[in-house]
A and B are shown apart, each in its own frame.
Chain A
Amino acid sequence: DVKVTQSSRYLVKRTGEKVFLECVQDMDHENMFWYRQDPGLGLRLIYFSYDVKMKEKGDIPEGYSVSREKKERFSLILESASTNQTSMYLCASRGFGRGLNTGELFFGEGSRLTVL
C-alpha cells in the first residue's frame, strides 16, 4: 500500500526557531513536493524535487529551503520561523512509472505548524 509519512502531525514553535519537517515515501517515487494549505488559498507549492539532490522553487519558496539527500526522503526547512508561516504543510510524491500525464499525487497526513 502507498505510504507517505510526515514526521510530525502537530508542532508549536517560537518565532526565530529553525524548523525541520520530514517526509518519507516508500514507493520509490522520483518526484516529491511540499505544499502549504491555508483557508481560502488552497494548496500552494513551496518546493519540489524531481530526483535526489535536485530541487526547484515552487510558487512561494521565500523563507523555506529543502533537502533531498536520499530518494525516499524530502525535508522542508524553515531557517527562522515567522508567524506568517503558521499553516498546514503537506508533502506529496509521484512516480514516473504511471506516466507523465498522471496527476496522482500521494499525500502525507500533513503537519500543522503553529509559530508563536
Chain B
Amino acid sequence: QKEVEQNSGPLSVPEGAIASLNCTYSDRVSQSFFWYRQYSGKSPELIMSIYSNGDKEDGRFTAQLNKASQYVSLLIRDSQPSDSATYLCAVKGIQGAQKLVFGQGTRLTINP
C-alpha cells in the first residue's frame, strides 16, 4: 500500500461546478496535510494546509480532514478553467519530521 494515495484521474468538471479531490494516507500518526497545485510544465505550489479534523476554507478552496478515516480532501467551488492542473496531496510526519510524502497527483480539467 502506498503511503499517500490519490486517484490519478483525469477528473473532468464543468465550469462553475464543485471539484472534489480525495487523498488517503497510511500512517495513522501523520499530523500535517497539504495540497499543492501544479500547472503543466511548472513546479508545485502550496495552496492549502490543514492540521486538525474538520474543514478549513480559503476563498474557493476547502480542505477537509478526517484523521479517523485517514482521509483528506480538497473542494474547489465555482471551478474555473484556470483551476485545470494536477493537484498533489502531501503528508508530513511519516518516518521523520523533515520531509513530505506526496501522492501521485490528480489531474483536474475544468471544461468551459
A, B in one complex: yes
Residues on A facing B (Cβ under 8 Å): 31, 33, 35, 40-45, 48, 50, 56, 58-59, 90, 100-105, 107-110
Q: Mark B80-112, 1 if CB is under 8 A from A, else 0.
A: 000000001010100011111111110000000
Asked whether, in the complex, the Cβ of A31 is within 8 Å of the Cβ of B104, the reply is no
Q: Can you show 27 pairs from A to B with CB atoms below 8 A apart? A: A31-B98, A35-B102, A40-B104, A41-B104, A42-B102, A42-B103, A42-B104, A43-B44, A43-B102, A44-B102, A45-B101, A48-B98, A48-B99, A50-B98, A56-B96, A56-B98, A103-B32, A103-B49, A103-B92, A104-B34, A104-B46, A104-B49, A105-B46, A107-B43, A107-B44, A108-B43, A109-B43
Asked whether, in the complex, the Cβ of A40 is within 8 Å of the Cβ of B43, the reply is no
Interface residues of B, dominant DSSP? strand
Which chain B residues lie closer than 8 Å to A100 at the CB level?
97
Q: How far is the CA of A21 from the CA of B37 in the complex (A)?
A: 24
Which chain B residues lie closer than 8 Å to A31 at the CB level?
98
Minimal beta-carbon separation of A114 from chain B (angstroms): 16
Q: Which one of A33, A56, A90, A104 has the greatest number of beta carbons of chain B within 10 Å?
A: A104
Q: Which one of B46, B51, B97, B99 has the greatest number of beta carbons of chain A within 10 Å?
A: B99
| Least CB separation from B33: chain A residue | A103
**10 tightest Cβ-Cβ pairs between the two chains A and B:** A107-B43, A42-B104, A103-B34, A43-B102, A42-B102, A104-B46, A42-B105, A103-B92, A101-B32, A42-B103
Q: How far is the CA of A44 from the CA of B102 in the complex (A)?
A: 7
Asked whether, in the complex, the Cβ of A103 is within 8 Å of the Cβ of B46, the reply is yes
Q: How far is the CA of A31 from the CA of B92 in the complex (A)?
A: 14
Which chain B residues lie closer than 8 Å to A41 at the CB level?
104
